[in-house]
Structure 1
Amino acid sequence: MKAVIMAGGKGTRLRPLTCHTPKPMVPLLNRPCMEYTIDLLKKHGITEIAVTLQYLPDVIRDTFGDGSRYGVSLVYFEEAIPLGTAGSVKNCADFLDERFVVISGDTLTDIDLSAAIRFHEQNNALATLILTRVETPLEFGVVMTDEGGRITRFLEKPSWAEVFSDTVNTGIYVCEPEVLSYIEEEREVDFSKEIFPSFLQAAKPLYGYEASGYWSDIGSLEVYQQAQFDLLDGRVHLEIKAQEIAPRIFLENDVRIDSSVRLEGPVYIGENVHLQAGVAVGAYSILGKNTVISSGTKLSRTIIWENSVIGKKAEITGTTLCRNTRIADCVQLGEGAVIGDQCLIGAKSVVKAGIKIWPNKEVGENATVTTSLIYGAKQTKNLFGTHGIKGIGNVDITPEFVTRLAAAYAYLLQAGDKIALSACAHPFAQLLKHSIMTSLCSSGIDTVDLGIGNSPLIRYGVRSLACKGGIHIYMAEPVDDKEIVIQFIDHAGLPISRDLERKIENAYWQETYIRNLNRLGALQVEHHVQEAYLHALVQQLNVSSIQRQRFHLLIDCEQRFFPTFLAPLLHALGVTVDYSSIQEGIRKKGADLGVRLDKNGEQFVLFTEHGEKLATEQITALQLLACSGQHRRIGLPVSAPIELEHMAQLLQMEVVRTKVSPRSMMEVSSEQRFHPMFDAVYSLMRILSYLASEEKPLSVLLELLPACHMEKKTVFCPWAAKGKVMRRVMEENKGKLLELVDGIKVYDSNGWVLILPDSEDSHVKVISQGATAETAATLASSYARRIAEYQFHEKREIDSL
């Protein structure tokens, strides 16, 4: 039995720890992370090991040598270009002439590899993925198996709506040599994205073994810190190579401790550390070898790498310090701060919580560091939500924030790419647009300023002007909440993919920016997109029939933009308008229908001539009717009632069931310049055109629409419980007809119910449809109650441990 240790990772999310150190070499209790992997393989009798290298390969090679010092034999395979997980293993093909284990050098685990290998043998598997359960599966691959362990489905880095379980791929595989024959040479190939999905599609024996041991992917600074705390707490069944002089107090050799020093376990103190008089070392502190802690200093939950010197009377809490750092007297370092290699922090300085300081930086005396040096502010969650980036104006979303955000976006573009920009009429949104424009141009990206607009306009503009993408900023309603939304658009006029969102987030967190005076971006101002949009929209309408009908509308909308924007269109169509609130009364105004337009121009609410408000499903049905001649293919979300699908089919429209995200729905008919579900003006004009051709008022048409009985509920669910809840839903509905396009959709004789984790809040949405309103309400209430019970049972199980 042989093994491959994947040790090529850069660990960009761990920077500044990994600026000079490969990710597998970051120390855990003063030992390289990869050393624990070698020990685990050796424990299970695997001593012939290949090591794949790419980033700073000599650091790893020089540390471990041929492996003899660790009781194993190591052979190194270096990649000139990134080959992906499977490509890296293929690069070792000459070495792998028998069954082998693939394992990462940058994870900490005590999983029973022997048990996994036995499971693999018993099932005659081609490949076996070792699985484990985690609280938050978003950064991993979710895997589903049948009762025998055969893999039935998996999703790589899913959204919350795709989390069908809390069981994930650890990246540890048991493979037969035959696996190598399916991997192309000298090409970037990934196991979880390409090889394993192809095995699943071809019905090859692909299995998942659910392990019960400890497993942690050292992928973030917080996880890096927690993994060491877990080692100190004894949660990881791996050897700690130091003497335990008191319960959970570990010392290596030649430690000098003054008699007045106070130690509070658990702590780990490395070789040749010197703790001077009056030092207090609090719980969960780890001190690297050759470190000096001067008198009167207080440490708590602090990780210090080797060869660092801490001055007198410093206070360090929850901070990580890399190699060869110098902290002067009376310095205060805050929770979550990270100080890179060979930094000097001057006397009486304060480094605030969450600040990251890049290697080789110097902070002067009496300085207060409130923003990271090179790095931006610490992020605790994803930037992007379902509809873009949201935050409170001038609090979360500031000019400084959008400047860094735009620079991160520019890093992923090519010099000379053209990006369209627009914003709503609010002055602060316009200010942010100019901040983004400046940042993009300084990064070599050309910009096109579309002025005041909305999302449908910028989508149209991006396509008509052949831009690489676009950014739109608007103040959400109600304006009093001061919430700003930033939307990114791709070259096809669609919301950007989740993959691109992740890349922007990573570039933002890492602040890998490009600034170049040799190539500044050009600025173009384009004032004709509105005119072009309206002209193209009119081409989609039966203008003469609308003109004959002489509609009178009551439109409730924001007053800075829409009245001016709509005036030429409505004038051309012979439509008269009152711009006022719906509350003033449709009948009083003598309107044929009332419309409340969403400020961003994507959604709207309709009211009949009698003032009756249409339900969401009724508006969608009208949109299908009105657009049937123009759209032959339409995307309907899994949350839409089945009657709408039948209706669309009767209208000879091809229906594709999609996720509920706007991009998923829009890309089904991406060739269309206007999308009825996300362009309120276009959709409204199509409905007017349909009403004119039918020569019937809206209230009469409503009676012809199918009846849909829907119920929606929102159930509180902590982030840490979402994966467990979804797993329980899957387990308890085994044998029923399930649809897993987005969330879990359960069908039964009474209708269906969709369980959909919210991607932005600690909630789970429950959407149901039944034959009657009572049936739909009963279904939704039943599942809402179960979701609450699943959380209670999980908590009770944890409390009993």
Structure 2
Amino acid sequence: MKQWETALVRPGTTLEQAIKVLDRAALRIVLVVDIQQKLLGTMTDGDLRRALIKHQSLDTAVEKVMNPQPKVATLDWSRERLLHVMEQQQVLQLPIVDEQYRIIGLESLHELLNQQTQDNPVFLMAGGFGTRLRPLTNDCPKPMLKVGEKPILQVILESFVKAGFHRFYISTHYMPEMIRDHFGDGSQWGVSIQYIHEGEPLGTAGALGLLPKDEIDQPLFVMNGDLLTTLNFQSLLQFHEAHPASATMCVREYEYQVPYGVIESHGHHITSMVEKPLQRFFVNAGIYLLDPVLLQRVTHNHRIDMPTVLENEIANNRKINMFPIHEYWLDIGRIEEFSRAQKDIAGSLQ
């Protein structure tokens, strides 16, 4: 049982019983939920003290004292957003709820400020040529292009470091010495970095086969080295652990508007006409969590792309999750995206 689950109580719980829950859970908050785990309200130790100061009986039901409209967060909130709201609202905890307002977690200010180290390895893919960004990449690998004052790859690494991760692997192929010279062994950031060099391009997943597989003992983060995002990596890990699968793929919603009126028909009869309909799809966001067992199935030094790896898993009836992300996300594949990165994200990620 997760620690926050010990803080759950039902309506009708007395203040006397709630005090015991507060003491047992040691979270300084009680979460009042219905039978479907829907959050009805919260009672902090401060709420309790104020009730006792007003001489309310210990037999009083907790819903008479609770805050029926507490500030809540969702699983996709970044650490920075959680801390900002806690500071703004002057609260020590934020319940995490799903779309049905069911409680699925609890973030505390103490834990966010004293974040534990995460031992999950992180594999950053930085071997591509970046042909669409020429001439910028004629003498610089794409992940080393700077947004603001830092290379893209450094921004990515530091976002993982900030989230508590310390075991890194970086794949290289094009101008590998520039990447190695900049990052070294990772000691500048207090982390370890090992390099996986592709002598020949192995596709978007072939480098997985070059990893020291005996060292990968926990779900492995894999991320393209040309992405900027404020994704909450802890939330992704929690989701993957709660939904066991061979892999979890992050996806983004992509909208496409057909520029013409679309005709539906039966035979030679028109059945409907829709003017410029909007189509919505989920697309691959280039961030994954892979189970160590999946890694064992990737052949050494064999060219293969990530979609093929995942399609093989699905063909063998193994589960692949998708994790929709709503945070900032930018794939720096073309000059337009590189210019956009300079404009709207470089400063905020420094």
Structure 1 position 87, deviation (Å): 1.2
Instruction: Tell whether 2:41 aligns with 1:41.
Output: no
Aligned CA distance change for structure 1 residues 127 and 27 (closer, same or farther; 3 Å): same
TM-score of the pair, normalised by structure 2 = 0.57
Partner of 1:229: 343
Alpha-carbon displacement from aligned partner over 1:370-429 (angstroms, at most 9, x marks no partner): xxxxxxxxxxxxxxxxxxxxxxxxxxxxxxxxxxxxxxxxxxxxxxxxxxxxxxxxxxxx
Structure 1 position 30, deviation (Å): 2.1
1:205 counterpart (299, 319, 334): 319
Amino acid of the residue matched to residue 225 of structure 1?
Answer: S
Q: Is the 8 A contact 1:112 1:211 kept in 2?
A: no
The 1-side partners of 2:291 and 2:179 are apart by 27
Instruction: Tell whether 2:176 aligns with 1:26.
Output: no
Structure 1 position 164, deviation (Å): 6.3
Partner of 1:99: 219
Structure 1 position 134, deviation (Å): 3.6
Structure 1 position 232, deviation (Å): 5.6
Aligned CA distance change for structure 1 residues 221 and 199 (closer, same or farther; 3 Å): same
The 2-side partners of 1:33 and 1:216 are apart by 11
Partner of 1:176: 291
- 1:142-161 aligned within 5 A: none
Counterpart secondary structure, 1:212: coil
Amino acid of the residue matched to residue 245 of structure 2?
Answer: A
Q: Is the 8 A contact 2:170 2:194 kept in 1?
A: yes
Counterpart secondary structure, 1:165: strand
The 1-side partners of 2:295 and 2:280 are apart by 29
Partner of 1:65: 184
Counterpart secondary structure, 2:122: strand
Larger Rg: 1
Counterpart secondary structure, 1:213: coil
The 1-side partners of 2:309 and 2:247 are apart by 10
Q: Is the 8 A contact 1:44 1:114 kept in 2?
A: yes
Q: Is the 8 A contact 2:168 2:192 kept in 1?
A: yes
Q: Is the 8 A contact 2:132 2:334 kept in 1?
A: yes
Structure 1 position 135, deviation (Å): 4.4
The 2-side partners of 1:232 and 1:4 are apart by 22
Q: Is the 8 A contact 1:48 1:73 kept in 2?
A: yes
Q: Which moved more, 1:86-95 or 1:13-22?
A: 86-95
Percent of paired sites with the same residue: 34
Amino acid of the residue matched to residue 122 of structure 1?
Answer: A
Amino acid of the residue matched to residue 188 of structure 2?
Answer: R
Structure 1 position 93, deviation (Å): 3.2
The 2-side partners of 1:211 and 1:104 are apart by 15
1:214 counterpart (315, 323, 328): 328
Alpha-carbon displacement from aligned partner over 1:599-626 (angstroms, at most 9, x marks no partner): xxxxxxxxxxxxxxxxxxxxxxxxxxxx
Q: Which runs of 5+ in 2 are unaligned?
A: 1-119, 258-277
The 2-side partners of 1:59 and 1:96 are apart by 26
Amino acid of the residue matched to residue 111 of structure 1?
Answer: L
Partner of 2:230: 110
Partner of 2:271: none
Q: Is the 8 A contact 1:93 1:180 kept in 2?
A: no
Structure 1 position 166, deviation (Å): 3.1
Structure 1 position 97, deviation (Å): 3.1
Structure 1 position 182, deviation (Å): 2.1
Amino acid of the residue matched to residue 331 of structure 2?
Answer: D
Amino acid of the residue matched to residue 344 of structure 2?
Answer: D
Partner of 1:75: 194
Structure 1 position 133, deviation (Å): 2.3
The 2-side partners of 1:101 and 1:107 are apart by 14
Structure 1 position 217, deviation (Å): 0.7
Amino acid of the residue matched to residue 174 of structure 1?
Answer: L
Partner of 1:166: 281
Alpha-carbon displacement from aligned partner over 1:433-491 (angstroms, at most 9, x marks no partner): xxxxxxxxxxxxxxxxxxxxxxxxxxxxxxxxxxxxxxxxxxxxxxxxxxxxxxxxxxx
Q: Which protein, 1 or 2, shows the higher relative CO under an 8 Å CA cutoff with sep ≥ 6?
A: 2
Equivalent pairs, count: 210
The 1-side partners of 2:326 and 2:130 are apart by 26
Counterpart secondary structure, 1:84: coil
Structure 1 position 116, deviation (Å): 0.9
Partner of 1:262: none
Amino acid of the residue matched to residue 85 of structure 1?
Answer: T
